Amino acid sequence: MVRQPIAPRWRIILGIVSVIILLLGYTYLSHKQHQTNPTDTTIPSWSQLADGVAKMVEVNARSGERWLVVDSIASAERLFLGLAWGVIGGFLLGLFMGCFQWIAALFVPSMSLLAKVPPTAALAVFFVLVGTETPMFVAMIAFGILPVLAMSVYLSVLEFPDELLHKAYTLGASHFEVVWSTIFRQVLPKVFDAVRLQIGPALVYLIAAEMVVGDVGFGYRIRLQSRLLNMDVVYPYLVILAAFGFLMDYGLVRLQRLSCPWYEQARRR
């Protein structure tokens, strides 16, 4: 029967098994590769990976810096600034589009169009408009996530029931209070959901841009080391990126649960 429930412990066991299979599969691939070519670095063995980690954590002989530290600082700055501008801008625009029809009429066509343009394809546009330093990355990430987020928030605001809107006015609310104290508070959990969905794309834009431009950052390091076939550095970087994305998502879920304790119950209904 479809949707037949399974015991919770089976869920845990199967989850662990799948991760183990992943790791064993990788070990096997690496082993096969090293049998063909003992000095291979494209599918590193576990000891080579350990060396790779050491390489990125220790002070590099030539540049005098720790790769992990400088790359993290550079990428994190770009990502967080880009996310900040994109999220705040997208949220405010979406909120006002949903609340005021003339703003919606002004922006829906342009937002819908812009949402379809892949920011990575428009890199040259950003070079020209904003230069090639940190502002370029920030602009690219922000413009990458802003239209989609604005449309998402706009649609969530449209779902706010008319009845509650009218009721707020009969309770003596001003227009500002209607937008801030009722619509915003009801739409907030959906904003979190929309932001969670944009973390992935934001990371993609960041890494893609860093691969093309720049001399520091995760994207730059991964591309350079990939070209040198130093996959023992690349794999740990990928793992860090994955862990970071996971933590961001988890952090946002916790924040959502903290600020909107009512949402779980409402969703289940």
Partner 1 sequence: MVRASEETMMDKDIILECSELAQWFGDNKVLFDINLQIERGQIVAVVGPSGCGKSTLLRAIVGTHPARGGDIYVIDGEGTKRVVETPGRDRGIVYQRYSLFPFMTARENVAIGPVLDKTSIPGRIFGYFKFREFKKTVLEEADALLTRMGLGHALHQYPAQMSGGMRQRVAIAQALIMRPSILLLDEPFGALDEATREDLQRLLLGLYQENEEARAQDVPAPHTIFIVTHELNEALYVGDRVLGLSQYWDWKGEGLDACPGATILYDKAAPIFDPDGQRDFESLRAQRAEIRALVFEPETPTPRHIHVTYSS
Residue 99 in contact with partner 1, rule: CB under 8 A: no
Residue 172 in contact with partner 1, rule: CB under 8 A: yes
Rounded-to-integer distance, Cα 174 and Cα 116, Å: 37
Dihedral of the CA atoms 96, 100, 103, 108 (nearest 10)? 80
Between 182 and 198, CB nearer to partner 1: 182
Find, among 176, 200, 190, the residue nearest to 90 by Cα: 190
Residue 266 in contact with partner 1, rule: CB under 8 A: yes
Shortest Å, Cβ 148 to partner 1: 25
Residue 263's CB: how many other CB atoms inside 10 A?
17
How many residues contact partner 1, by CB under 8 A? 29
Rounded-to-integer distance, Cα 86 and Cα 151, Å: 13
Q: Is 59 helix (H, G, I), strand (E, B) or coil?
A: strand
Rounded-to-integer distance, Cα 56 and Cα 71, Å: 10
Residue 29 in contact with partner 1, rule: CB under 8 A: no
Which pair of tokens denotes residue 168? 């707020």
**Interaction mask 104-143, partner 1, x per CB under 8 A:** ----------------------------------------
**Cβ–Cβ < 8 Å for 210, 220:** yes
Residue 195's CB: how many other CB atoms inside 10 A?
24
Between 75 and 186, CB nearer to partner 1: 186
Shortest Å, Cβ 255 to partner 1: 15
Residue 258 in contact with partner 1, rule: CB under 8 A: no
Shortest Å, Cβ 269 to partner 1: 5
Task: Work out which of 29, 171, 228, 242 binds partner 1, going by CB under 8 A.
Answer: 171
Q: How many CA atoms lie within 13 A of 43 on its CB side?
A: 15
Between 109 and 261, CB nearer to partner 1: 261
Between 51 and 177, CB nearer to partner 1: 177
Task: Work out which of 22, 164, 229, 239 binds partner 1, going by CB under 8 A.
Answer: 164
Residue 256 in contact with partner 1, rule: CB under 8 A: no
Shortest Å, Cβ 199 to partner 1: 24
Residue 169 in contact with partner 1, rule: CB under 8 A: yes
**Cβ–Cβ < 8 Å for 29, 43:** yes
Q: Is 66 helix (H, G, I), strand (E, B) or coil?
A: strand
Q: Which residues bind partner 1 (CB under 8 A)?
A: 161-164, 166-174, 176-177, 180-182, 185-186, 188, 260-263, 265-266, 268-269
